[in-house]
């Protein structure tokens, strides 16, 4: 049984994002980049399934610039077996990513496709759903627990009213949530071994995907500074301010 895990190169979640002076985008110069945290959870889940004897091979795929191989190597150090880097300097959008992942998954005959529920840079939360629709297979989004039983996988997912468990036929797409697991740290020997693991380079054209964007970024601005709070002396004063100043009641 094979697993395909998609990872994205994003600004490390501990780094404060800076907007370019001309407001044309986010400044990435001298910025620490990492695996998207939700994708890292997907890698960890695949490794745990392999350790449990459920999965035989883990393939990690990323779509982006040459530097994205750093994130693939990081996933290989965590326990993945080989990587696929689809090289493009264009910003990939969810549908384009889903089409590429579909081609990789079908060519590799993967049984489980794992990816983070969303990326922390654009927060689209669309790729997993689009991928499942394109492949015509079941999907379990926002997974907080994954159990593979034979040719089925039970996915417990978080919904507004609590928890929902889905029984999906394999192959299936699973998007991971924060509560699924806690990713491990890569050990130095595994980091060294990861440098020798196979990493294939492809282009979007190899999968027949046009990377031309249908969207245009007009302007990027940082969020407005939050105003300092105030202390009120009584409930009556609080109610008055909520009613007459904030106008929320």
- Supply the DSSP string of 160-182, one letter for each residue: TTEEEEEEEESSEEEEE-GGG--
Q: Are 178 and 171 in contact (CB under 8 A)?
A: no
CATH of region 2-244, choose from 3.40.50.620, 3.40.50.10860, 3.90.1150.140, 1.10.3720.10 = 3.40.50.620
| Global pTM exceeds 0.95 | no
Listed by start position, the domains of the chain span 2-244
| Residues 47-92: tens digit of each pLDDT | 999 999 999 999 999 999 999 999 999 999 999 999 999 999 999 9
Local confidence band at 216 (pLDDT 50, 70, 90 cut-offs) = confident
- Residue 30 vs residue 52, higher pLDDT: 52
Residue 212 CA to residue 8 CA, distance in Å, equals: 19
| Residues 127-164: tens digit of each pLDDT | 999 999 999 999 999 999 999 998 999 999 988 888 99
**What is the model's pLDDT at position 43?**
97
Label residue 177 left, alpha or beta by phi (over 0 means left) and psi (-120 to 50 means alpha).
beta
């Amino acid at each position: 049984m094979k697993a395909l895990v998609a990872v994205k190169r994003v600004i490390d979640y501990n780094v404060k994002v800076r907007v370019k002076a001309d407001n044309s985008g986010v400044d990435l110069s001298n910025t620490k980049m990492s695996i998207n945290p939700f994708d890292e959870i997907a890698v960890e889940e695949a490794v745990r399934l392999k350790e449990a004897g459920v999965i035989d091979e883990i393939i990690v795929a990323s779509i982006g610039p040459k530097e994205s191989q750093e994130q693939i190597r990081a996933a290989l150090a965590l326990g993945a077996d080989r990587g696929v880097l689809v090289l493009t300097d264009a910003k990939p959008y969810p549908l384009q990513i889903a089409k590429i992942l579909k081609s990789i998954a079908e060519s590799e005959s993967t049984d489980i496709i794992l990816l983070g529920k969303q990326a922390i840079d654009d927060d689209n939360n669309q790729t997993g759903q689009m991928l499942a629709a394109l492949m015509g297979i079941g999907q379990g989004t926002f997974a907080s627990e994954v159990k593979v039983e034979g040719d089925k996988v039970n996915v417990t997912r978080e919904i507004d009213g609590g928890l929902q468990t889905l029984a999906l036929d394999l192959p299936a797409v699973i998007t991971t949530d924060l509560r699924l697991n806690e990713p491990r740290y890569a050990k130095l020997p595994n980091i060294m071994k990861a440098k020798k693991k196979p990493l294939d380079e492809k282009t979007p054209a190899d999968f027949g995907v046009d990377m031309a964007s249908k969207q245009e970024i007009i302007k990027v601005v940082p969020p407005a500074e939050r105003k300092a709070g105030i202390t009120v002396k009584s409930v009556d004063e609080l109610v008055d301010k909520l009613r007459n100043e904030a106008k929320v009641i």
